[in-house]
Amino acid sequence: MGKIDYFCDFLNINPMKTDQVRVRFAPSPTGPLHIGGVRTALYNLLFVRKLGGKMILRIEDTDRNRFVPGAEQYIVDSLGWCGIEFDESPEKDGPHAPYRQSDRSGIYQDHIQRLIESGHAYYAFDTEAELNEMRERAKEKGGQTFQYDQETRKTMQNSIALPEEQWKKYMESGMPYVVRIKTPENEHVVVNDLIRGEVVVSTSNLDDKVLFKSDGLPTYHLANVVDDYLMKITHVIRGEEWLPSAPLHVLLYCFFGWEDVMPQFAHLPLILKPDGNGKLSKRDGDRLGFPVFPTEWKDPQSGEVYSGYREAGYLPEAVINILAHLGWNPGTDQEIFSKDELIEQFSLERVGKHGSKFDPEKAKWFNHQYMLLKSDDELCRLMKPYLDEHGVSPPADYLGKVIQLVRERAFLIPDLWNASWFFFMRPKEYDTQVYQKIWQPGTTGWLNEFAADVEKLAEFNEDTFHTLVQDFTARTGIKMGQLMNPLRLLMVGSNQGPGITDIAVVLGKDEFLERIRVGLEDK
């Protein structure tokens, strides 16, 4: 390995000053936030809350071509739903406001000027057509890709290759230009990553990225580094897709003379498709039948709707837990964590280097576990929108009894309703396949006889119902199933649901008999 010139070292956190730890989540409002982004925000949060530092939301919206209206609000709202809160953000002012990059353009102009003056950046006037021509030519030369770099810059339209008087004339005539970083020749950049260790890159492999665009706004790289510095960010925790940019960022820190306060980097592994074949993409979810966004997103341009965890009936605490496990390993068998437990136990040392496969079945299982932890009252509250939607408003004690019967069966919130709707309305139809399978020539007669016995019961409860069923089957000689299966069909409309005794007792004697009567009329 050659000489190391640009070095990003670990900044050990002073245990007395952990409250000075500052992290940021820096999304670009180019669309909805994928769950990979939510996981990045979550890991930042877990990391910083344990240390008592600050969590910043910075909106990186300098790429106006990719700006999507409504995306910033979506990001804020969906993170809020997940319980990921910020100490400083565009909505919550702090000492380094503004927190939206489009409101900070003057700052970047000053900084790009500094790099030009110190010789670390240069003006480039190449038009899109000229750049395309270079790309084509490189392709013809044996499939290479054109890089604007230490070699090629010598032959292009820029303030390094052109005589000073000429490029100054270009500037004066108002010719559009960009500013590019001047990558040093034959040197090495070291990025010390908390997850990946030391990553060394030769500057001859780096290109002269655009730092400042012809529209007067910075690119992501410049704005990101300048803001991390000005906002006193101590740890940059972000997705692996940014690792290739990290050497450039280290260079910028060094060029600005900020190497002593360079943040520590931690690049999180990818979240992979369930089969492990590549990154989980925004289209995978709806294609494979599970959401990849925290909340539903309607694309303002295409009108396309992408499903969200909230609308699919997940609890935010379950979503957080699912994401916590996608990359981090607690090192124990514990799977269910409260947010406080996650904060207590999370550590970057236990975040792996390799991608984690997203398992949609496991995601449902997690949600089920969190639903089991809810009290009956909380589940009743979660059920409310479904009751409203169907125009039913059962008394609280009735709803409480139903919830107790179905809570074990619910994996997602809508399952509460799907597993119990027949407690609130009569079946409108009866499953014909079930009917054909279970209905026998004697069934109608037995049910009429059974209903007459129920009618005579002074008390209608679990015990009396149970005894009656025993007596009835003994007397008539029919099997338990020959009575219970048709009864279930008349109560529920199918072969689903909890035990028939439970259904009968909750429905109550009158409704039970009425459903037999209505059902037999229909048969």
Which sequence positions are flagged as catalytic?
282
User: What's the min distance (Å) between Cβ of 220 and ligand GLU?
Assistant: 6
Which CB atom, from 263 or from 285, has the smaller least distance to ligand GLU? 263
Rounded to the nearest 10 degrees, the angle between the axes of helix 500-507 and helix 480-492 is 50
Which CB atom, from 29 or from 316, has the smaller least distance to ligand GLU? 29
Q: Is 247 in the site for ligand GLU (CB under 6 A)?
A: no
User: What's the min distance (Å) between Cβ of 75 and ligand GLU?
Assistant: 10
Q: Is 235 in the site for ligand GLU (CB under 6 A)?
A: no
Question: Which of these, 404, 410, 427, 440, lies nearest to 488 by C-alpha position?
Answer: 427
Which CB atom, from 124 or from 191, has the smaller least distance to ligand GLU? 191
Question: For residues 390-449, which are near ligand GLU according to CB under 6 A?
Answer: none
Stretch that binds ligand GLU, among 25-33, 121-129, 329-337, 432-440 (CB under 6 A): 25-33
Which CB atom, from 226 or from 382, has the smaller least distance to ligand GLU? 226
Residue linked to tokens 């060394």: 200
User: What's the min distance (Å) between Cβ of 28 and ligand GLU?
Assistant: 4
Neighbours of 187 (CB within 10 A): 17
Cis peptide before 395 (omega within 30 of 0): no
- Contact (CB, 8 A) for 161 and 194: no
User: What's the min distance (Å) between Cβ of 27 and ligand GLU?
Assistant: 5
User: What's the min distance (Å) between Cβ of 149 and ligand GLU?
Assistant: 23
Neighbours of 166 (CB within 10 A): 13
Question: For residues 44-73, which are near ligand GLU according to CB under 6 A?
Answer: 60
Which CB atom, from 220 or from 435, has the smaller least distance to ligand GLU? 220
Q: Is 26 in the site for ligand GLU (CB under 6 A)?
A: yes
Name the DSSP class of 124.
E
The first and second tokens of residue 271, run together, are 């979240």
User: What's the min distance (Å) between Cβ of 360 and ligand GLU?
Assistant: 24
| Strand, helix or coil for residue 18 | helix
- Contact (CB, 8 A) for 175 and 159: no
Which CB atom, from 111 or from 238, has the smaller least distance to ligand GLU? 238
Stretch that binds ligand GLU, among 20-28, 121-129, 361-369, 428-436 (CB under 6 A): 20-28
Which CB atom, from 261 or from 480, has the smaller least distance to ligand GLU? 261
Which CB atom, from 60 or from 88, has the smaller least distance to ligand GLU? 60
| Strand, helix or coil for residue 359 | coil
Backbone φ and ψ of 25, nearest 5°? -110, 130
From candidates 6, 23, 28, 213, binder to ligand GLU by CB under 6 A: 28
User: What's the min distance (Å) between Cβ of 51 and ligand GLU?
Assistant: 19
Q: Is 180 in the site for ligand GLU (CB under 6 A)?
A: no
| Count of positions on this chain that bind ligand GLU (CB under 6 A) | 8
- Contact (CB, 8 A) for 11 and 262: yes
From candidates 7, 146, 170, 242, binder to ligand GLU by CB under 6 A: 242
Stretch that binds ligand GLU, among 26-34, 133-141, 366-374, 377-385 (CB under 6 A): 26-34
Cα–chain-centroid distance for residue 336? 18
Q: Any idea what the Cα angle at residue 318 is, between residues 316 and 320, rounded to 5°?
A: 70
User: What's the min distance (Å) between Cβ of 224 and ligand GLU?
Assistant: 5
- Contact (CB, 8 A) for 225 and 56: no
Question: For residues 187-226, which are near ligand GLU according to CB under 6 A?
Answer: 220, 224
- Contact (CB, 8 A) for 78 and 294: yes
- Contact (CB, 8 A) for 379 and 371: yes
Residue type, 41: A
- Contact (CB, 8 A) for 288 and 44: no
- Contact (CB, 8 A) for 120 and 248: no
User: What's the min distance (Å) between Cβ of 370 and ligand GLU?
Assistant: 28
Which CB atom, from 244 or from 276, has the smaller least distance to ligand GLU? 244
Q: What does the alpha-carbon distance between residue 342 and residue 243 come to, in Å, rounded to a whole number?
A: 26
Q: What does the alpha-carbon distance between residue 450 and residue 471 come to, in Å, rounded to a whole number?
A: 10
The first and second tokens of residue 498, run together, are 């909890």
DSSP per position, 167-229 = HHHHHHTT---EEEE-PPSS-EEEEEETTTEEEEEEGGG----EEE-TTS-B-HHHHHHHHHH
Q: Is 27 in the site for ligand GLU (CB under 6 A)?
A: yes
From candidates 209, 235, 238, 509, binder to ligand GLU by CB under 6 A: 238
Neighbours of 122 (CB within 10 A): 21
Stretch that binds ligand GLU, among 22-30, 201-209, 405-413, 495-503 (CB under 6 A): 22-30
Neighbours of 17 (CB within 10 A): 12
Query: Which residue ranges make up the site for ligand GLU (CB under 6 A)?
Result: 26-28, 60, 220, 224, 238, 242
